[in-house]
Copies of this chain bind each other. A is one copy, B any other.
Amino acid sequence: MRKLSELEGAALGIIARAQPLTPYQLRKYFAISPNPHWSASAGSIYPLVERLEAARLVRAEEHATGERVGWKYSITVTGRKRLRTWILGGDTVKVIGLPDLLRVRVAMMPVLPPAEQRQFIALMEQKLRETLAITRADVARKQQEGDPLNLLISRGALLQTEARLHWIHEVQATLFGVQVQPAP
């Protein structure tokens, strides 16, 4: 296996933390993530874990519930080593950069008539607000649970969302002269 893709690395990392698990459980981990940038469909996950197994990065143990047979996967020593080099050896430019699909669209505002510009930005602002509420709730939950790392991850999402919401208000103020009511 040449080089771990982003999805493969993430999957291997999840397996490392929550092993042993089935491909289906793995999919759920991606699905419930507050930031679902991967569809993590069956068509990607099942072949993926097979690739990982073929490369001996994970190991499968049979797992039967009633009539149905499945496989639970755990990370191997090789896999753990591979995961470490993947984390450390990635292209830092890619890791640091972050693709913001919203910003790309805002940069294209001139192709929209003004009414549609406002409408679009207003919609995005609302969605960001919703995301903010969800993320705050997530932070609160993680605070209860007590795992400092999990809390940090949620905090990261929260800080990002706050920054984006602040930014979209700048956009509204600059482009439309809209003044935003102060935060509660």
Contact = CB atoms under 8 A, between A and B. Distances in A.
Interface string A82-109: 0110011010111111111111111111
Given A163-B160, A163-B163, A116 B97 contact: no
A152 B171 contact: yes
Contacts of A9: 104
B100 A112 contact: no
Interface range, A side: 35 or more
B110 A102 contact: no
B163 A35 contact: no
A81 B137 CA distance: 39
A174 to B, nearest CB: 6
The quantity of this chain's copies bound in the complex is 2
A183 to B, nearest CB: 15
A54 interface: no
A116 B88 contact: yes
Contacts of A93: 36
Interface stretch (A20-28, A43-51, A60-68, A122-130): A122-130
B153 A120 contact: no
Contacts of A153: 103, 106-107
